[in-house]
């Protein structure tokens, strides 16, 4: 970080990050000569690493053919081909793709599609959405209202729609009671969700929205077995839709294309982004079931929503190339293998660490949670800004990792998230854990722990 001024408005208004001037594989190169391992793929974005030659070639080809055509007038070959790869494979399943520029837009579209579906079905009273605390669904006002990240919501609270309410997340480390089994925990969460449907009134909920594996706010939190089946059953019984947000955990990150494949449920609407385009272009998508689209097709006939850069041909071509590489190179198997290695190395390095309370995740999506006291699971004082300090220390030592939590009430525990590119080698996974271990220990020492 430097204190030189920049005309680019960065998140920190006091410091300007170094310029990235290149990248290769899992590495990013900074202007000051540093090589930084992109161990969190930015924020679980760079699933193929940097400057993948096949993706670059596909983008160059598309750019030289057609960069942009407005979707009010044209479709495009890459958009059609990308949709074919993503949807229409399961009878009665997700059948249509709506391409946007990122995750928040995908969530906004999902919320609006659910609402419009119920209007067109003659159920306009379905105005409520239930989501979960400690979740993140994006930074636009609709997505922020849906999310349960107290810190991100706080300044904008007066602007956020009251249509969204929040229930307890399936976050075993913090929410499960002592002595409670997984089944009992799931039953308690299901009862709470059922009670929320009842509180809001019969037939008044449009959808329940959740991340199958929680990303940014809580750090790679998987749900106990049976949780999503219970949630699906409750939604079905109440005639509500299930919207799954796989912006961070989707597109292979957990070892299957969609994280929900490992939960024994399928959503009615799904949001994807990050790993869809792997960072080569800004792209996200809302995937929707045929039943929803057919209802609107035979009703008003149009989805009442839109953005200028919908289904951008160059973005779709980049995402298509990314998805082709994942499939052709068998990278889902590699995510599973390297994921096991990452879990094992994290357990070896941090399993007995007195300030690491939890090691959690799936596939190549893992987090460690830092605690002041393991026995009581007490978090560190948020004023220490431990997760930010670890991020800075790791970065100075050539490791990019994604910090979270611990900053305000409602976001519990400092954690550090790892989401390495799917192409990471065995040696690179080892190096990531080594560097993280050094950064964690250096920071804890600096705050006398």
DSSP 111-176: HHHHHHHHHHTT-TT--EEEEETT----SSHHHHHH---HHHHGGGGGGS-TTEEEE----HHHHS
* CB contact set of 162 (below 8 Å; sequence gap of 6+): none
Note whether 219 and 172 are within 8 A (CB).
Answer: no
Note whether 279 and 42 are within 8 A (CB).
Answer: yes
Nearest-approach distance from CB 45 to ligand PLP, in angstroms: 8
Nearest-approach distance from CB 31 to ligand PLP, in angstroms: 25
Element (H, E) at 433: helix 426-446
Q: Which is nearer to ligand PLP, 28 or 143 (CB)?
A: 143
Q: Which is nearer to ligand PLP, 43 or 163 (CB)?
A: 43
DSSP 406-419: -SSTTS-SEEEEE-
Q: Which is nearer to ligand PLP, 119 or 273 (CB)?
A: 273
Nearest-approach distance from CB 420 to ligand PLP, in angstroms: 17
Nearest-approach distance from CB 17 to ligand PLP, in angstroms: 17
Residue 325's closest CA among 312, 315, 334? 334
Q: Which is nearer to ligand PLP, 270 or 437 (CB)?
A: 270
Nearest-approach distance from CB 408 to ligand PLP, in angstroms: 18
Nearest-approach distance from CB 210 to ligand PLP, in angstroms: 10
Q: Which is nearer to ligand PLP, 278 or 437 (CB)?
A: 278
Q: Which is nearer to ligand PLP, 316 or 431 (CB)?
A: 316
Give the tokens for residue 378.
């007490």
In the three-class reduction of DSSP (H, G, I as helix; E, B as strand; rest coil), residue 385 is classed as coil
Instruction: List contacts with ligand PLP (CB under 6 A).
Output: 43, 102-104, 107, 136-138, 211, 215-216, 245, 247-248, 273, 284
Which residue's C-beta sits nearest to ligand PLP? 103
Count of CB atoms situated within 10 Å of the CB of 405: 27
Question: Residue 38 carries which DSSP code?
Answer: E
């Amino acid at each position: 970080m430097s204190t030189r001024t920049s005309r680019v408005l960065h998140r920190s208004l006091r410091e300007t990050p170094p310029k990235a001037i290149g990248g290769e594989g899992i590495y990013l190169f900074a202007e000051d000569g540093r090589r930084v391992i992109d161990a969190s793929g930015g924020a679980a974005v760079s699933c193929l690493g940097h400057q993948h030659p096949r993706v670059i070639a596909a983008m160059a080809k598309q750019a030289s053919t057609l960069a942009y055509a407005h979707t009010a007038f044209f479709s495009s070959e890459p958009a059609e081909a990308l949709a074919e790869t993503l949807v229409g494979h399961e009878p009665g399943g997700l059948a249509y793709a709506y391409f946007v520029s990122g995750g928040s837009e995908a969530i906004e579209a999902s919320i609006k599609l659910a609402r419009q579906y119920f209007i067109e079905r003659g159920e306009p009273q379905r105005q409520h959405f239930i989501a979960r605390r400690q979740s993140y669904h994006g930074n636009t006002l609709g997505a922020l209202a849906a999310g349960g990240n107290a810190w991100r919501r706080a300044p904008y609270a007066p602007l956020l729609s009251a249509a969204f309410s929040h229930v307890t997340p399936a976050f075993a480390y913090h929410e499960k009671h002592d002595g409670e089994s997984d089944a009992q925990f799931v039953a308690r969460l299901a009862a709470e969700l059922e009670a929320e449907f009842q509180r809001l009134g019969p037939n008044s909920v449009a959808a329940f929205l959740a991340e199958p594996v929680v990303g940014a706010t809580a750090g790679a939190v998987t749900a106990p077995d049976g949780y999503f089946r219970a949630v699906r059953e409750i939604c079905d019984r109440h005639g509500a839709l299930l919207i799954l947000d796989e912006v961070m955990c989707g597109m292979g990150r957990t070892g299957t294309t969609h994280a929900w494949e490992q939960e024994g449920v399928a959503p009615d609407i799904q949001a994807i982004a990050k790993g869809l385009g792997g960072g080569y272009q800004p792209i996200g998508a809302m995937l929707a079931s045929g039943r929803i689209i057919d209802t609107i097709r035979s009703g008003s006939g149009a989805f009442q929503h839109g953005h200028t850069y919908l289904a951008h041909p160059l973005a779709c071509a980049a995402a298509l190339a990314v998805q082709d590489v994942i499939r052709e190179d068998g990278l889902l198997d590699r995510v599973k293998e390297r994921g096991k290695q990452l879990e094992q190395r994290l357990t070896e390095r941090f399993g007995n660490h007195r300030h690491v309370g939890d090691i959690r995740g799936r596939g190549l999506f893992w987090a460690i949670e830092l605690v002041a006291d393991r026995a009581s699971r007490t978090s560190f004082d948020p004023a220490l800004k431990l997760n930010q300090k670890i991020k800075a220390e790791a970065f100075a030592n050539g490791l990019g990792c994604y910090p979270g939590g611990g900053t305000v009430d409602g976001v519990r525990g400092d954690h550090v998230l790892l989401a390495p590119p799917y192409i990471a080698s065995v040696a690179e996974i080892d190096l990531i854990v080594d560097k993280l271990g050094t950064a964690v220990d250096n920071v804890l020492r600096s705050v006398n722990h």
